[in-house]
Amino acid sequence: MRVCIVYFSQTGNTHKIAEAIQAQTAEAAGHCAMLRLEEADPAIFSGYDVVGFGLPAFYFREPINVYHFFKDMPDQSKAGRSKPFFFFVTHGGTPGDVYSRIDRLANSRGMQTIDYFQCLGIDTYPPFADRKPLTAYGHPDQNDLLQAKTFAKDIIHKAGAYLGRGEFNKPKIPGNWITRTVAGFFSEQKIRLMMRRHLLPSKNIRPGRCTKCGLCVENCPQGIISLNPYPMIDESNCIACYHCQRICPTNALDCDWRVFKFISGEYFRSQKPIPPGD
């Protein structure tokens, strides 16, 4: 059984879960390829029997680049039969409608969700990065990784039953009109509108702080940052992850989050003490 996993991860949360699932899947199935989204062609799944996808929840839904990956994917069904598909999600806060959206995207490309896995992942999104403690502090932890490995074992059994005997029990995918409505406020078009209206802040470079190290260029998931001589960002293709601000070692990227923090109620959130020993 040939298995392939593609995943998108910025801060390492989803990467940790992907590694745990890939290792256990390879042991159970005999083969499991794994690629980062940035290096994967949308047609990659066509050469595999069972496929999986890992992602973080962004703005109550899938990241924009994940959405385009699925939309650019060729149909995966063979002889009218859908290909077995699984996915895993990490989230700091509320995952919103990400589960049902990924299920629908997979189904639209001739794939059938046989199961999914979710767990918390520490939230370092810039406007919330000064929370004490950070949301989902300490996750994914060892228990999360153990559960991910158990999930991987189950996936191979379920995929084998589906491929060999056509046996299949559709998992209950979370999602309802409320989560769909909330996620709808953060469609690609609306996120870009929020950036234009500065509800999501613009990214201003401080030349006096920038060392031209190129870290933002190397780590941008969209590859839309160049040095000339300071970072230049193609906002038309930005997915609003703000990873460039997150990883800048000199805080040379200035983003004014005050409007977003006010709208999201961040200023009214009480801080909790960090647990002893952490």
Do 115 and 166 share a domain, yes or no?
yes
Domain that holds residue 30: 3-176
CATH number of the domain residue 53 falls in: 3.40.50.360
In angstroms, the CA 159 to CA 208 distance is 55
Token couple for 197? 């209206």
Answer yes or no: is 275 within a domain. no
Domain-terminating residue out of 157, 176, 195: 176
> In sequence order, what are the residues at sequence separation of 6 or more whose Cβ sits closer than 8 angstroms to the Cβ of residue 252?
205, 206, 207, 209, 210, 211, 231
Answer yes or no: is 276 within a domain. no
Do 215 and 125 share a domain, yes or no?
no
Token couple for 207? 């030349």
Answer yes or no: is 273 within a domain. no
Do 11 and 53 share a domain, yes or no?
yes
Do 200 and 162 share a domain, yes or no?
no
Do 200 and 164 share a domain, yes or no?
no
Do 168 and 223 share a domain, yes or no?
no
Do 135 and 212 share a domain, yes or no?
no
Do 192 and 171 share a domain, yes or no?
no
User: How many structural domains comprise the chain?
Assistant: 2
The pLDDT tens digits for 209-223 are 999 999 999 999 999
Q: How far is CA 159 from CA 6, 148, 251, in A?
A: 17, 16, 47
Do 84 and 207 share a domain, yes or no?
no
pTM: 0.93
DSSP state of 10: S
Do 134 and 220 share a domain, yes or no?
no
Do 148 and 203 share a domain, yes or no?
no
Q: Quote the pLDDT of residue 275.
A: 53
Answer yes or no: are the C-beta atoms of 91 and 127 closer than 8 Å: no
Token couple for 192? 């870009």
Answer yes or no: is 224 within a domain. yes
- Low-confidence residues in the chain, pLDDT < 70: 270-278
Answer yes or no: is 260 within a domain. yes
Answer yes or no: is 277 within a domain. no
CATH number of the domain residue 263 falls in: 3.30.70.20
Q: How far is CA 28 from CA 85, 116, 262, in A?
A: 16, 17, 49
Do 247 and 208 share a domain, yes or no?
yes
CB-count exposure of residue 25 (10 Å: 0-12, 13-18, 19+) = buried
